[in-house]
Amino acid sequence: MSREKLTKIILPEERMPRFWYNVQADMPTPLSPALHPETKQPLGPEDLAPLFPMGLIAQEVSTERFLEIPPEVRELYKLWRPSPLYRAHGLEKALDTQCRIYYKYEGVSPVGSHKLNSALPQVYYNKMEGITRLTTETGAGQWGTALALACKLFGLECMVYMVRVSFDQKPYRRMIMNVYGANCVSSPSTLTESGRQALAKDPDTPGTLAIAISEAVEDAMQRADTHYSLGSVLNHVCVHQSIIGQEVKLQMEMVDDYPDIVIGCCGGGSNFAGIAFPFIPDKLAGKKVRLVGVEPSACPTMTRGVFAYDFGDVAGFTPMLKMCTLGHDFTPAGIHAGGLRYHGESPLVSQLYQDGLIEATSVMQKGVFEAAMLFSRAEGIVPAPESSHAIRVAIDEALKAKEEGIIKSIVLNLSGHGQMDLTAYDNYLSGQMEDYAPTDEEIQASLKTLPTL
């Protein structure tokens, strides 16, 4: 097939990968162990068992390169996978660039984002262990929506703690979770001790993912029928999302192309990991592909944080992970990309960043929406605010290449559509949107809450 002509590069259903890729097999520096929040000793699998099923714990610590996708999960992946890789002809024309820009479109999933890639196996492994109820947190609502649907498809109950600023900004998200049969409450809530404490500390808090995680973990710890589920950050989530990048590689082969740059937005890191990690072996073998994670300036975990042990949640219930962090007490401004408002970063992404195998950059909210508007009007798809961070950098890279008189092949992860985020666009179009970035003092103050070892 000609690389010039096709708009959608479609991988046949039967070529959908049968294995997830696990980057732990190929890391030059192995991960530092997760530590118990109280004893501060390395965790054993049994320490995670109250929250996670053994199937996921095994993936969390595995160093096997390929992990089999269970047939039950693979059947459900077919509801939307393989997802299309688009050549962005319209955007290229709008930018007047010779660069080839591709976007992997995960918004075709029934919930409109990549999150279902991990929600399905997470629910599957819990069901195999007899668990009947899952709790989770959600920022923008993409993860909560995905877990709600996955629970419904496998017949489990689902309880979602949704960060308050998003709960208020995005009412449709609560509604779609209800359609899928989940219970969704604004976090901090009065249902948990962690929620009540957060409200006592600041009744007007916009909430954070770190608070919502504390609530979901606390809830799960109190019931034997209940486990906890996390939509990003952890190794097994990055493993599940690797199907994205594996498909991209096959699709790029179909048009006889290979990327110079692969770009994904970074909150907890799983969507970036998903598209980027399958390129790590190529990079280690000498290929010159750049892997770029894009953070919001309001929550610059890699670009302005430290690499240190920290808790995943505000209350210190979770294990301590060695990762890029702004401190678990950090409260990012209430930007519209609620899915990126997380103080930490996947330990896998963080370690690979330390080792120079991936790059990180940060962008301001208004520039992100400027890029999202250009993309919407050129390609038709209205992108999610989170995914638009990747679009911003893809555009900047294409414009830079034009200035330098070179031609690049650029691939970005369009991890979701923004049809349920239209209030954010309305805010931008009415000229009311503001840019945010924490001061150095704010970051230093938050870093003081890092646990001592």
Residue closer to a copy of itself by CB (options 89, 402) is 89
- Retrieve residue 152's tokens: 């419904």
> Which tokens go with 244?
């994205």
Contact call for residues 340 and 139 (beta carbons, < 8 A):
yes
Span 67-86, contacts to a copy of itself by CB under 8 A: 75, 78-80
Evaluate whether 266 touches 340 at the Cβ level (below 8 Å): yes
Instruction: Give the whole-angstrom CA distance, residue 33 versus residue 306.
Output: 17
By beta-carbon proximity to a copy of itself, the closer residue of 284 and 429 is 429
Site for a copy of itself in 377-406 (CB under 8 A): 377, 379-382
- The nearer residue to a copy of itself, 13 or 253, going by C-beta atoms, is 13
What is the helix, strand, coil percentage profile of the chain, to 5?
Answer: 45, 15, 40
Q: How far apart are CA 389 and CA 414, in angstroms?
A: 10
- Residue 153: CB atoms within 10 Å: 18
How near is the Cβ of 304 to a copy of itself at its closest, in Å? 31
Tell me which residue of 363, 369, 387, 364 sits closest to 424, measured CA to CA. Answer: 369
Closest to a copy of itself by CB, 88 or 280? 88
- Range 400-439, binding a copy of itself (CB under 8 A): 419-420, 422-423, 425-426, 429
Query: Minimum distance between the CB of residue 171 and a copy of itself, rounded to whole angstroms?
Result: 8
Angle value at C-alpha 140, between 437 and 331, nearest 5 degrees: 35
How many of the chain's residues bind a copy of itself (CB under 8 A)? 42
Span interacting with a copy of itself, options 168-176, 184-192, 275-283, 296-304, rule CB under 8 A: 168-176
Q: Which two tokens stand for residue 69?
A: 């996708």
Q: Is 110 in the site for a copy of itself (CB under 8 A)?
A: yes
Task: Give the 3-state secondary structure of residue 404.
Answer: helix
Nearest to 311 by CA among 138, 451, 137, 135: 451
Q: How far is the CB of 364 from a copy of itself (least distance, A)?
A: 20
Return the closest-CA partner of residue 102 out of 261, 274, 243: 261
The CB-of-25 to a copy of itself minimum distance in angstroms stands at 30
Q: Considering the rule CB under 8 A, would residue 112 count as an interface residue with a copy of itself?
A: yes
**Quick one: which segment of 106-114, 284-292, 354-362, 390-398 binds a copy of itself (CB under 8 A)?**
106-114
List Cα–Cα distances, 182 to 3, 53, 99, 225, 294, in angstroms.
43, 21, 44, 16, 31
* Closest CB to a copy of itself among residues 172, 258: 172
Span from 9-17, 189-197, 285-293, 441-449 in contact with a copy of itself (CB under 8 A) = 9-17
| 45 Ramachandran zone, left/alpha/beta (phi>0; psi -120 to 50) | alpha
User: What residues numbered 336-375 form the site for a copy of itself, per CB under 8 A?
Assistant: 373
- Contact stretch for a copy of itself (CB under 8 A) within 40-48, 108-116, 199-207, 283-291: 108-116
Contact pattern for a copy of itself over residues 33 through 62, marking x by CB under 8 A: ------------------------------
Query: Which parts of this chain interact with a copy of itself (CB under 8 A)?
Result: 6-8, 10, 12-13, 75, 78-80, 89-90, 108-112, 116, 149, 152-153, 172, 175-176, 178-181, 373, 376-377, 379-382, 419-420, 422-423, 425-426, 429
